[in-house]
C-alpha cells in the first residue's frame, strides 16, 4: 500500500478582498483519481483548491486557496508520501500588490501587474527522494512536444496529456506519455473510467 498525494482543483490569487484570478478546474479528475487510488488499496491525501465536489470520504483532504498555500500544504506531507499526481490547475500568476480594501471603480482602466507563482510539481520534484511524480498537462498546438517539455522541466515520471475540452466536462480523452515520449495509453470516456485506467498505468509503471 502506498500513500499518494493528489493536487486537485484551481487556486485563487486575490487582488483585493473580493476579486481574484483563477484557472478553470472542477476538481472532478482529482476526485476520480483519488477514488481510483483508494479502490486500488492506497492511502490518499488530496490538497485541493476551492471546488464544489465531494472528495472520497476516506481521503485526507487539505483545503487551500492560493498556489503558495497549496505548495506549503504539499511540502508538509511530501516526506510521508510515495508519489504524487498533479491534477490541480494552480493559478500561475498573482498580483504583485493586493489591495487591503475593495478597489473602487473610477471609470478609468485598471492595470494589474502579475508575477509568477511557484510551480508545485517542480517544487516537490526539487526536494524528492525516491517518490514518483505524475503531472497532467492541458495542451493545444504541438501537444506531445509541449507535454514532453513539461515532463522534463518538472522532472516527472509520466505525463497525462489532455485538451481544453476536458475543463469542467464529465468526459475526457487523455494520453499517458513516459519519459521516452512513448504513448503508453490513449484513453477516452467518463472521468471516473478514465481515472481508473490512468491509475492502472501508474500502478504498472511506478508503484511497487
What residues make contact with ligand C5P under the rule CB under 6 A?
A: 7, 67, 86-88, 90, 92, 117, 119-121, 135-138, 150, 154
Give the integer Cα–Cα distance in Å for 32 and 70: 19
Q: For the chain, what's the residue count?
A: 208
Angle between helices 28-39 and 191-206 (to 10 degrees): 50
In this complex, which beta carbon is closest to ligand C5P, that of residue 123 or of residue 189? 123
Q: How far is the CB of 106 from ligand C5P (least distance, A)?
A: 32
Q: How far is the CB of 100 from ligand C5P (least distance, A)?
A: 26
Give the integer Cα–Cα distance in Å for 38 and 2: 10
DSSP 42-110: -EEEEEE-S-SSPPPTTSEEEE--SHHHHHHHHHHHHTT-SEEEE--B---EEESS--SSPPPP-SS--
Q: Which of 23, 79, 162, 178 is catalytic?
A: 23
Q: How far is the CB of 131 from ligand C5P (least distance, A)?
A: 14
Q: How far is the CB of 34 from ligand C5P (least distance, A)?
A: 14
Let me know if 162 is a catalytic residue: no
> Using CA of residue 133, residue 139, residue 145, residue 150, what is the dihedral sign?
negative
In this complex, which beta carbon is closest to ligand C5P, that of residue 36 or of residue 137? 137
Angle value at C-alpha 41, between 89 and 67, nearest 5 degrees: 20
Among all residues, which ones are annotated catalytic? 23
Amino acid at each position: 500500500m502506498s500513500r499518494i498525494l493528489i493536487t486537485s482543483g484551481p487556486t485563487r490569487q486575490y487582488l483585493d478582498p473580493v476579486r481574484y484570478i483563477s484557472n478553470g478546474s472542477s476538481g472532478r479528475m482529482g476526485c476520480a483519481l483519488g477514488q481510483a487510488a483508494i479502490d486500488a488499496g492506497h492511502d490518499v491525501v488530496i490538497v485541493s483548491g476551492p471546488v464544489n465536489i465531494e472528495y472520497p470520504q476516506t481521503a485526507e483532504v487539505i483545503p487551500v486557496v492560493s498556489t503558495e498555500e497549496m505548495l506549503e500544504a504539499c511540502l508538509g506531507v511530501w516526506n510521508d508520501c510515495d508519489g504524487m499526481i498533479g491534477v490541480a490547475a494552480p493559478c500561475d500568476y498573482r498580483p504583485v500588490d493586493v489591495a487591503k480594501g475593495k478597489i473602487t471603480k473610477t471609470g478609468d482602466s485598471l492595470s494589474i501587474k502579475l508575477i509568477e507563482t511557484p510551480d508545485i510539481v517542480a517544487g516537490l520534484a526539487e526536494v524528492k527522494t525516491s517518490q514518483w511524480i505524475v503531472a497532467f498537462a492541458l495542451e493545444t498546438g504541438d501537444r506531445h512536444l509541449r507535454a514532453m517539455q513539461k515532463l522534463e522541466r518538472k522532472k516527472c515520471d509520466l505525463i497525462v496529456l489532455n485538451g481544453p475540452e476536458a475543463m469542467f466536462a464529465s468526459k475526457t480523452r487523455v494520453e499517458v506519455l513516459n519519459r521516452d515520449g512513448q504513448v503508453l495509453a490513449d484513453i477516452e470516456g467518463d472521468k471516473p473510467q478514465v481515472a481508473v485506467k490512468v491509475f492502472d498505468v501508474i500502478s504498472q509503471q511506478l508503484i511497487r
